[in-house]
Amino acid sequence: MKLATIGTSRITDSFLRAVETSGRLTFEGAYSRTEEKARAFAEAHQGKRWFTSIEQLAESSDIDVVYVASPNGLHFKQVKVLLGGGKHVICEKPIFTNVKEFNEAFELAEKNHVFLFEAIRNIQTPVFARLKKELPRAGKIRSAILHLIQYSSRYDQFLDGEITNIFSPQFAGGALEDLGIYPLYVAVTLFGAPEDAAYYPVKLSNGIDGSGTLVLRYEGFVCTILCSKIAHSCAPSQIHGEKGTFSINSSSDISQLEWLDAHTKETETVASNPSDNDKFYEINRFADIIENGLTSDYLYLKNLSHEVLRIMEKVRKQGGIIFPNDR
C-alpha cells in the first residue's frame, strides 16, 4: 500500500523510519502548505511526489493510506477531506478534540468503506501486551499511579513569549491532549471505562494546561494520572494489587515490565523489549486490519479511541479548557 504524509515534524520522521522497518507500506509523497517544504520532506525520505493541496492528495488514485501528524486542531478538517477521497487514514493522537468530530468522521469512513485509526503506539507494544496478560497475577487492584511528566523544550519558548502549537488553545494543545492521553489509554485498555473522572489542570498564562492530575474512579480503587510538559520525572508508573505491584518504565515508551510480590517482596523482570522506535508495532497492526478486513480488531480500537476521547473532552471542559472546535 502506498502512503502519503501530512506534517513534517520529527514525529513524521519517526513514523517513516518505522514504515521502512515494517515494510508494510511504501512512502510515496508528502503534503505541506508550501511546495518547497513538501518537496524537501518528500525527497529527504525518497518520496516521489509532493502536495500543497489536501484535496489534490485526497483525489490521488495512487495513494492508499495517509498519515496525519498536523497540529491537533487541524485533524478533523483534514481527515474529513481524506476520507471523502476514499483514503485510509492513520491520525496521530489525539485523533480529534471532541466526540462530535469523532462520530462524524467515523460515519464518513464507514460510508466510504475505508479505515480510520488513531496512532497511539504504547498499547501496541509487546511489553504492554504482556502486562495485559499478566495483570490478574496482581489480584484485586487497589490503586494505580500512571504518569507522563516530560519537560518540553517548547516551554522555554513559551516563557520567552512565543506560543507554539503544543501550548496553544487555538491548536488544541496542552498537557492532557499531548501527554495525558498515553497513561489514559493504558488505564482504559486495562481497566475499562471509569465510573467517574475529574481533571485538575495547572494552567499557564494563556489558559492552557501546562500540567495536571486526572483522577479516574473505579469500583474498589482509584487510578491517578499525572501529566506535565513543564516538569520532568523518570519514575515508573505502577499498578498496585493485593498480591503485588506491576511497574512499567514509562506510559508512552513501554519497554520494561517489573513485578514486586506483595508478600515475599521479591522482584522480577517480567518482560523487556527496548526499542528506539515502537511505532513499528502499530503500523503492522493497522496494515493487518486494512489488508485482511479485520473488523473485530478495528471496532475494538475504535471503541477504545471513543472512550478515551469521551473522558478527555468531559474533564477538559470541566476544567475550563475550551478549544475553538468545541464551539
Tell me the Ramachandran region of residue 79: left when phi exceeds 0, alpha when psi lies from -120 to 50, beta otherwise: alpha
CB 200 within 8 A of CB 213: yes
Q: Nearest-CA neighbor of 97 among 264, 295, 298, 325?
A: 325
Going residue by residue through the chain (327 aa), what tens digit of pLDDT does each one get? 999 999 999 999 999 999 999 999 999 999 999 999 999 999 999 999 999 999 999 999 999 999 999 999 999 999 999 999 999 999 999 999 999 999 999 999 999 999 999 999 999 999 999 999 999 999 999 999 999 999 999 999 999 999 999 999 999 999 999 999 999 999 999 999 999 999 999 999 999 999 999 999 999 999 999 999 999 999 999 999 999 999 999 999 999 999 999 999 999 999 998 877 899 999 999 999 999 999 999 999 999 999 999 999 999 999 999 999 998
Q: Which residue has the cell 506510559?
A: 251
Structure confidence at residue 124 (pLDDT):
97
Domain ranges of the chain: 2-117, 123-275
111, 279, 183, 310: CA torsion to nearest 10: -10
Segments of the chain assigned E as strands: 2-6, 26-31, 49-51, 65-68, 88-92, 116-119, 141-149, 196-203, 209-218, 221-228, 237-241, 244-248, 256-261, 267-272
Rounded to whole angstroms, the Cα distance separating 323 from 327 reads: 7
DSSP conformation class of 298: H
Structure confidence at residue 75 (pLDDT):
98
- CATH number of the domain at 2-117, please? 3.40.50.720
Q: Is the peptide bond before 94 cis (omega within 30 degrees of 0)?
A: yes
Q: Which residue has the cell 469512513?
A: 109
Structure confidence at residue 287 (pLDDT):
98
Q: How far is CA 324 from CA 118, 278, 311, in A?
A: 21, 32, 18
Question: Do β-strands 65-68 and 141-149 pair in parallel, antiparallel, or remain unpaired?
Answer: unpaired
Q: Nearest-CA neighbor of 147 among 230, 234, 222, 72?
A: 234
The amino acid that residue 326 corresponds to is: D
Q: Is 238 exposed, middle or buried, given 0-12, 13-18 or 19+ CB atoms closer than 10 A?
A: middle
The amino acid that residue 200 corresponds to is: Y
CB 163 within 8 A of CB 283: no
Chain-centroid distance, C-alpha 54: 23
Structure confidence at residue 139 (pLDDT):
99
CB 49 within 8 A of CB 4: yes
Segments of 120-236 assigned E as strands: 141-149, 196-203, 209-218, 221-228
Q: Nearest-CA neighbor of 173 among 199, 148, 203, 145?
A: 203
Q: Nearest-CA neighbor of 68 among 86, 84, 49, 87?
A: 87
Angle between helices 181-191 and 295-318 (to 10 degrees): 120
Structure confidence at residue 120 (pLDDT):
97
Rounded to whole angstroms, the Cα distance separating 8 from 42 reads: 9
Full strand arrangement of the beta sheet holding 141-149: 196-203, 209-218, 221-228, 141-149, 237-241, 244-248, 256-261, 267-272
Phi and psi dihedrals of 166, rounded to 5? -70, -15
DSSP helix/strand/coil, 286: helix
CATH of 123-275, one of 3.50.30.40, 1.10.1660.10, 3.40.50.1100, 3.30.360.10: 3.30.360.10
- Contacts of residue 107, defined as CB under 8 A and 6 or more positions apart, other chains included, come to none
